[in-house]
Amino acid sequence: MSRAGWRNHWKQADGIISTLQCDAAGEGAAFKMINQLLAGVHIAAASEAIAFAAKQGLDIRKVYEVITASAGNSWMFENRMPHVLEGDYSPRSAVEIFVKDLGIIQDMARTAKFPVPVAAAALQMFLMTAASGMGRDDDASVARMYARVTGTQLPGEPK
Tens-place pLDDT, residues 123-140: 999 999 999 999 999 999
Q: What are the chain's domains? A: 32-150 (1.10.1040.10)
Angle at which helices 75-86 and 27-55 cross, to 10°: 50
DSSP code at position 2? -
Active site residues: 32
Which has the higher per-residue pLDDT, 37 or 14?
37
Structure confidence at residue 29 (pLDDT): 87
Q: Which amino acid is at 36?
A: Q
Q: Is the pLDDT of residue 21 over 80?
A: no
For all residues of the chain together, what is the average pLDDT? 90
Q: Is the pLDDT of residue 1 over 50?
A: no
Distances (CA, A) of 2 to 7, 9, 10: 13, 14, 11
Can you tell me whether residue 94 is helix, strand or coil? strand
User: Residue 7: pLDDT band by 50, 70, 90 thresholds?
Assistant: low
pLDDT in tens, 49-90: 999 999 999 999 999 999 999 999 999 999 999 999 999 999
Q: Is the pLDDT of residue 115 over 60?
A: yes
Q: Is the pLDDT of residue 20 over 90?
A: no
User: Residue 22: pLDDT band by 50, 70, 90 thresholds?
Assistant: low
Chain centre distance of CA 18: 27
Q: Is the pLDDT of residue 3 over 50?
A: no
The alpha-helical segments, DSSP class H, found in 56-116 are 60-67, 75-86, 95-112
CA distance 103 to 44: 15
Q: Report long-range pairs for 51-60 (Cβ below 8 Å, ≥24 apart).
A: 51/143, 51/146, 51/147, 51/150, 51/152, 51/154, 52/146, 54/147, 54/152, 54/153, 54/154, 55/147, 55/150, 55/152, 60/84, 60/85, 60/154, 60/155
Among 3, 62, 41, 28, CA closest to 119 = 41
Can you tell me whether residue 87 is helix, strand or coil? coil
What's the whole-number mean pLDDT along residues 31-38?
A: 95
